[in-house]
Structures are given as structure tokens and as C-alpha cells.
Chains A and B, each alone.
Chain A
Amino acid sequence: MPQDRSLFYEFKKGLWQDIPPFRLLLGLCPALAVSNSAINGLSMGLATLFVLFTSNMVVSLIRRTISAKVRIPAYVVVIATLVTVTDIFLAAVFPAISKALGPYIPLIVANCIILGRAEAFAQKNPLLPTAMDTLGIGLGFTMSLTLMGVIREVLGFGSVFGVKLLGSWFEPWIVMILPAGAFLVLGALVALVGWISSRKAAREAAAAEPASH
């Protein structure tokens, strides 16, 4: 594989340029389902980061051994194993979080980001770039879910990570902790990130224009 991109680029692209779910629009299910509080968003993000990182490392290691025809089932076995590990680990060590996230931890298996990165990146790249790529994407996902959780928790409960932030004058927006609130916040953030990106692209294009002529 030609190494035309730096390792740092592989890491950093997941934090803004390809940040899930706002830019990739992958992993929407957990983003909608478990972002109703900051702690839920953070733990879901970290659990996904762990599975993403470890499973893609394995995929990268076995990428030459696996026949192309059966690669998807093979990846799923790897991912499912690691998800089970995560699920059991959380249930044993953080029972409260495990209970709050419920079926969404086992459902990490179905998270398109993980299979998506395995298909798009890990199966074509050696260990180190894969590690950087998945760490970046995973951290980006964790940041996104935490941000959604913070927004929804502030508006829906008036608190952040369970700490009361807004006084009794604030009438909580119940809608924010309902599924409808997840769609509203996700839509608003996708629009915001897209808007900032397009402005940035326009600025860079404008800056590049006089230099080329």
C-alpha cells in the first residue's frame, strides 16, 4: 500500500473532516438512541471507540489471510466477539451504565462505522495507519455523541453529567430527552458542521485563487 498520507492526517481526519456521524452520516442509530444525556453519549462513544479500534486492528492483521469472498462474515465474527467482550465488561464493572445503554451495547455490532472502516480502511492498510484512522474516527464519534448528550441534557434536564447547571427558573424542554429531540439536535448539528465546512472550503478556494493566477 502506498503511504501517501501522513499518520497524523489519518488520525486528524476523524475529528473534523470525516467526523461521524455529522460528516459520515454513519452510526446514526446510537447517535439518536443514546445521546439523551452526556454520560450516556460519552460511554456509548467510548464503547464504540474500543470495539472500533480493536476489531479494525484484528482486521488489519488478518487482511491478507482472509479470502475476499468471506471477508464480511469474518469481520462480523471479529466485531461480534469484541462487542461481547465490551458488553460483559461494562455489565461487570459499570452496571449502571450497562443498564442505561441497554441493548445498544450489543447493537454496536450493527454500527456501520465499524464495518465501514474495516471495509474502507483496515482491509487495505497496515497496522499503524489503521490504528490512527480508527482512533481518530472513534474519538470523533465519542466527541459527537458527548456533544449531543450535553446539548440534550442541558436543554432537557438543565444539567450536565448529572450536575445541575441551570437553576429552577429554567423550564426543561421535555422534547429534548424524547426521540424527537435527538432528531432535532442531530439535524441542527449536521447542518452546522456542514455549514462551517462549506464556508471553510469557500475561504480556502478564495485564498487559492490569486495564488494560481
Chain B
Amino acid sequence: MDQKTTTNTPESATGRPEAREAAVAEAPAAAAKLIVSTSPHFMAEESIPKIMHTVVMALMPAAAASVYFFGWRALFLIIVCVASCLATEYAFQRIRRKPIKIHDGSAVITGMLLAMTLPAGFPVYGAVLGSVFAIGAGKELFGGLGYNIFNPALLGRAFLMATYPVLTTTWVEPRTVEKAVDAVTAATPIALWKFEGSMDFNLLDMFLGNTAGSLGETSALAIIIGGLYLRYKGYINWKLPLGYLGAIAAFSAIFWLANPAKYPNPLFHLFAGGAMLGAWFMVTDMVTSPTTSLGQWIFVIAAGLMAVVIRIFGGLPEGVMYSILFMNAFVPLLNKHTRPRVFGAVKAGKG
């Protein structure tokens, strides 16, 4: 992706309306110096480590919930993933003789997010493999932070899904991991509904996280707390998580209204699987989401539609991961074609 550092071209400034207004409000000289780039974009006193450490903080409630529901094994998996991601990043930057930037925290987030999408009983070697792939193939091969097309954590998870299809979908009942040597395997609410036609789910349990599922995905409450913290800090655009969740709710509502006996209600779809984690922490990834307002709307609505379609018609129980990865591929295209026309500007002759 080309990192445009254009000065005073109004077209490229439109990705961030606030920035433009602020710049216009100040002296014209300030506007001329405004550096506008493709994502990741940060303004003023922000820095990558600061943003990344805030995201890590925002992930803490979900991490705590995973330890609460799945025991110390959850913490162990998170540590393994974070350590492997850091080690992979270090190794790549060392081999490529690039500056070592593992302290910027982005690999920590990738590791945490990857761990959050794994079942509690997932083997350590699998977690290491997924982390190496996430950082190696998902990020460093593209050129490092800011150049990756796909969300690295989701790419690692997708690789594990294809590599160990059984292990990645062998879930354990919450709070049973420590009690028995062999954890009690259980199906997630979404798998129960999909493969056994069970509509017997407890929305409160799903909201709190007391169901079988991936480490950090089960507790919608903990994820929302973290997400709201991020929103409060101003690091995520409300359009992305709410648009994605809204699209999932709207499209699943169509099926629910058509046949409530067969299709669960929209709240089920919001609290089940990876929808919450995906909406607050993966759709909002600064690097792999569109920069323009229209692009963001298209991105989240298409991703939400795809998640619902995969859940209802697909062969897999969960569609959040593929929906986000699929739309990630369209981000450069969306950024290119959804640039709003500057007021008064004439359409360029070349097209």
C-alpha cells in the first residue's frame, strides 16, 4: 500500500473530517502542513505504543473473563501466544535487518487477540504455530505494521482453522478445565443451534460469557466494557463496531421474523461466537479498515451480511472470522473508490 504523505491536497484529507475541520479552523499554514496518510493514521501527540497499550488495556476485561470462565489454562494460552508473536516479530525484523520494534505493542495485541479466538483446551504447539503464522505471514511478510492487508490475528486463526480443524472446534465447558484432567467437551451455543437445531439457549449466560466457546469471545459484557473504553479514548470510530453489530442484527432479524422457530433472534447472533470480539477489536483494526466514511459503512454492512450468511447457510458454524478477512481484502479498493468529492471540486478528467 502506498503511504501517501501528501500535503494540502484536499481529496486525501477527507478521510478524517474532524481533522480537516480542525485544520481549516486554524491558520491556512497549519492546513498546508497537515500530513495525511493512509491508515494507520494518528494525530498530534498520539504514538503507536500509546495506542497499542490502550488496546491491550481494553482487552484486559475479556482476558480476565477468560481466566474466570476457563481457568489458568486461558492465561497460559494468552501468554504463549503473546510470547510467540513477540519472538516471531523479533526474529523477522532481525533477519531482515530492520529496526527492532517489538516494544510498540502491536505484536502483543495480535497475540492476545489470537489467543482470545482459541478454545481453552487448544494445544500449546498449535498456539505457537498460529502466532508464528499470524505475525510472519500475516504481518511481517507484507512489510510490518501498517502494511498488512489482513488482520494478523484473524489470519493466524484462519490458518489454524484450516490446519487443525478438529482442535480449533473442540470446545470445553466453562469452569471445568481445572476440575478434570480431560476437560468436558461441549458445543458452543451456535454449534448447538446449527448442527443440532437446538434453540435452547440462555441469553444471559451468553451475555456474561458462561458458555462453551473461544477464550475471550464468550463474554459479551467484558468485551463491551473494553470496547467502550477504547471508544472513550477515541481510538475507534463508533461506525465500525456498531455498524457491524447492527448489520448482523438487521440481517439475522430478517430470518428470525420470517421463521422464529428455526432461526434464533438477533440478540443470539450478537452474543454468540466471535461477533462481539470481532466487532470491537478486529473490525476496528486501524490498519485493515477503510479510512473513508462511506467505505466504512460498506465494509461493516457487507461484513455483517457475510457473517450472517455464513452462519445460516454456510458449512461452518461461525462466520465472523471469514467475514472480516474477506472484507479486509476490499479495503484498498474501498479507500480508493469512496473518496468523497471535495465541495466545489470538478471531477477529474482522468477516470
Contacts and interface: CB of A to CB of B under 8 A. Distances in A.
Interface string B129-172: 00000000100000000000000000000010011110100000
Contacts of B137: 184
Contact of A175 (B123, B125, B163, B167): B163
A171 B126 contact: yes
Interface in B261-294: none
A174 interface: yes
B162 A178 contact: yes
Interface in B18-71: none
Interface residues of B, number: 10
Interface residues of A, number: 9
Contact of A171 (B123, B159, B162): B123
The DSSP consensus for interface residues of chain A is helix
The secondary-structure label for the interface of chain B is helix
Contacts of A175: 159, 162-163
B162 A180 contact: yes
Contacts, number: 19
A12 B102 CA distance: 44
Interface in A162-210: 171, 173-176, 178, 180-181, 184
A51 B133 CA distance: 38
B126 A174 contact: no
A124 B6 CA distance: 52
A167 to B, nearest CB: 14
Contacts of A181: 162
Interface string A42-78: 0000000000000000000000000000000000000
A176 B137 CA distance: 15
A36 B321 CA distance: 26
B33 to A, nearest CB: 40
Nearest to A181: B162
Interface string A87-109: 00000000000000000000000
A173 B163 CA distance: 4
Contacts of B167: 171
B123 A174 contact: no
Nearest to A188: B137
A171 B128 CA distance: 14
Contacts of B159: 175
Nearest to A170: B125
14 contacts: A171-B125, A171-B126, A171-B167, A173-B163, A173-B164, A174-B162, A174-B163, A174-B164, A174-B165, A175-B162, A176-B163, A178-B162, A180-B162, A184-B137
Interface of B: 123, 125-126, 137, 159, 162-165, 167
